[in-house]
Amino acid sequence: MLPVNGTLLNELIPQKPPFVLISMLHEVSEHRCVTTFRFSENHVLCSNGCLTAAGLLENIAQTCAVKVGYECYLVNKKVPLGFIGDIKDFRYARLPLTSEEIRTEITIEHQIFDVTLISGKVSVNGEEIASCKMKIFVEPEEKPVAPVHASK
């Protein structure tokens, strides 16, 4: 079924246009996910012909989100919401230009309950341009509540 793009890709993540920062899902495994992204100069997180640092961070987070969304899609579950809880060691060598396609790879380092610790790397033509570690919180599935019966 991979690669995934277009409408199906947009259904796998909670973000909606114009705030989508991935164009194609290429690989998903138990601990890894790879996406690519092409953007235009009128993208909401583009400035002066470059994707902003905030755009790089959101792209990494959305790569994590699409991994979860794809896995949910395969088992017909609702795609949960996720939230960035922490960002560490964010570095970028340069910002990507609108003419460049970025490739983003996330690796899951630990998963504890509803918290996932990931490392993310963004590259252009094999050159790593950004990296960070993130803590992502995933909204837990709502469990049905048993009805309460009033006693007389």
Residue 132, strand partner residues: 120
- Calculate Rg over the CA atoms of the chain: 17
pTM of the model: 0.91
Closest CA to 118 of 133, 128, 131, 138: 133
**pLDDT, position 150:** 55
Domain coordinates of the chain in residue numbers? 4-138
Q: What CATH number has the domain spanning 4-138?
A: 3.10.129.10
Q: How many residues does the chain have?
A: 152
**pLDDT, position 1:** 84
Contact between 63 and 35 under an 8 Å Cβ cutoff? The reply is: yes
Which burial class, exposed, middle or buried, applies to 137 when counting CB atoms under 10 A from its CB (0-12, 13-18, 19+)? middle
**pLDDT, position 24:** 98
Question: Residue range 134-139: average pLDDT?
Answer: 93
Question: Residue range 28-51: average pLDDT?
Answer: 96
**pLDDT, position 9:** 96
Q: What is the DSSP string of 5-42?
A: EHHHHHHTSS--TTS---SEEEEEETTEEEEEE---TT
**pLDDT, position 151:** 54
Three-state DSSP state, 69: helix
Mind listing the pLDDT tens digit for each residue in 80-132? 999 999 999 999 999 999 999 999 999 999 999 999 999 999 999 999 999 99
**pLDDT, position 148:** 61
In this prediction, residue 141 has a pLDDT band, given cuts at 50, 70 and 90, of confident
Q: From CA 57, how far away is CA 63, in angstroms rounded?
A: 10
What CA–CA distances, in Å, run from 29 to 64, 68, 72, 89, 148?
A: 12, 11, 13, 24, 42
pLDDT above 60 for 54? yes
Question: Residue range 54-77: average pLDDT?
Answer: 96
pLDDT above 90 for 139? no
In this prediction, residue 140 has a pLDDT band, given cuts at 50, 70 and 90, of confident
